Amino acid sequence: MSQANNSAEQADHQPLDLIALWLVLWRSKWSIIGFTIAFTCAAVVYSLQLPNIYKSSVLLSPQESQDSGLSGLAGQFSGLASVAGINLAGGNNDTAMHIEIIKSKDFLYDFFNKHNIAPLLFAVKEWDKNTEQLIFDELRYDGQLHVWQINNEKNESFEPSQYDVYERFLKLLSIFQNKTTGLVTIEFEHQSPSVAKNILDLIVADINELMRQTEINDKQKSIEFLGMQLTKTSIAEMKNVFYSIIEEQTKLMLLAEVRKDFVFKVIDSPIVEERKSSPNRAIICIASLLFGGLISCLVCLVLHFYRSFKTA
């Protein structure tokens, strides 16, 4: 009995015989080849059904703050200006803030509603390269009337929620800043290269306009506040301080009125890309060939050891 146990333990601790494994695989070669071919063919069919995705990008230069005149007053009047809600010293990380504003729900929700982005993300069936037209899924969205269809099964509209649009949009949007040059790159992916380009144009235009209007409104409020303070003081020196700050605030407000590229200046405009960025069908086919072969080999080995274990 002990000899049988010893022989069983020795068998369990015997190293795997690579030649024996190779013979097992060789005997099952036709099954392995057949499974690999079937797996690869399925992957090829799947890759052909995937729509082409085009990526457009825009290179931006952050605009410097125009608070140079105010910064000269910072040392002398910063305490007083802070009471009026004015930052005389300016900001050091405005670009990072502007990038976060672009990705914020407040900005994007308004962007979606203003430009009707939801159908472009949830209702596009394909893009016709010959006519350069979007083809919508008519079961979900009526491209002629621009209305969402009703899902009869759930008795509700196919229209996605704002948060669903927000989540999908962020997956297609990429924003990063070169720490060396300070330049900002924004990329967007879509089935239509024209849509990808247009969305980037709209993002840049909207963020510039939003920050420009915000700056104008802030300056107007500051000027109104300082004007009120002027009427409340009779000290000549204090009036001179208020007049100096009002003058600088007025200059900045006028500059904001005429500057269209308020926070970002376009260095390299987005274009309608002719080459798709994904999917890489060659990589999919090669990966499926390797993965299918590996899986089929593992299955053959597992079945072989399972049969050996049952007959032991």
Give me the residue spans of the domains in the chain: 18-49+281-311, 54-268
Q: Which of 39-53, 90-104, 171-185 has the highest mean pLDDT?
A: 171-185
Q: What is the per-residue pLDDT for 264? A: 94
Q: What is the per-residue pLDDT for 304? A: 77
Strands 184-190 and 173-177: antiparallel
Contact 83, 222 (CB under 8 A): no
Q: What is the per-residue pLDDT for 276? A: 85
Looking at the DSSP assignment, which residues form a beta bridge with residue 60?
Answer: 184, 266
Q: Which of 29-43, 156-170, 244-258 has the highest mean pLDDT?
A: 156-170
Q: What is the per-residue pLDDT for 62? A: 93
Checking if the pLDDT of 200 tops 90, the result is yes
Tokens at 32, concatenated: 């392995």
Distance CA 175, CA 188 (A): 9
Percentage of the chain modeled with pLDDT above 70: 85
Distance CA 286, CA 237 (A): 79
Residue carrying structure tokens 């669903």 = 164
Question: Higher pLDDT residue, 87 or 103?
Answer: 103
Contact 276, 56 (CB under 8 A): no
DSSP string over 228-292: HHHHH---HHHHHHHHHHHHHHHHHHHHHHH-SSSSEEEEE-----SS--B--HHHHHHHHHHHH
**Strand, helix or coil at 154?**
coil
Tokens at 151, concatenated: 């899902």
Size of the chain in residues: 312
Tokens at 276, concatenated: 């798709």
Distance CA 253, CA 247 (A): 10
Instruction: Fill in the DSSP letter of residue 53.
Output: B
Checking if the pLDDT of 109 tops 70, the result is yes
Distance CA 213, CA 208 (A): 9
Distance CA 45, CA 124 (A): 21
* 102 CB-near residues (< 8 Å, 6+ apart): 108, 175, 186, 203, 207
In tens, the pLDDT along 10-28 reads 444 445 577 877 887 888 8
CATH of domain 54-268: 3.30.1890
Q: What is the per-residue pLDDT for 67? A: 55
Checking if the pLDDT of 101 tops 70, the result is yes
Among 149, 171, 152, 170, smallest CA distance to 160 is for: 149
Distance CA 264, CA 62 (A): 5
* 239 CB-near residues (< 8 Å, 6+ apart): 230, 233
Question: Higher pLDDT residue, 65 or 281?
Answer: 281
Contact 186, 200 (CB under 8 A): yes
Among 163, 66, 64, smallest CA distance to 122 is for: 163
Q: Which of 219-233, 239-253, 285-299 has the highest mean pLDDT?
A: 285-299
Checking if the pLDDT of 119 tops 90, the result is yes
Q: What is the per-residue pLDDT for 105? A: 96
Distance CA 2, CA 222 (A): 96
Contact 165, 112 (CB under 8 A): yes
State the average pLDDT over residues 122-147. 89
Categorize the per-residue pLDDT at 118 as very low, low, confident or very high, splitting at 50, 70 and 90: very high
Distance CA 126, CA 152 (A): 24
Mean pLDDT of the chain: 83
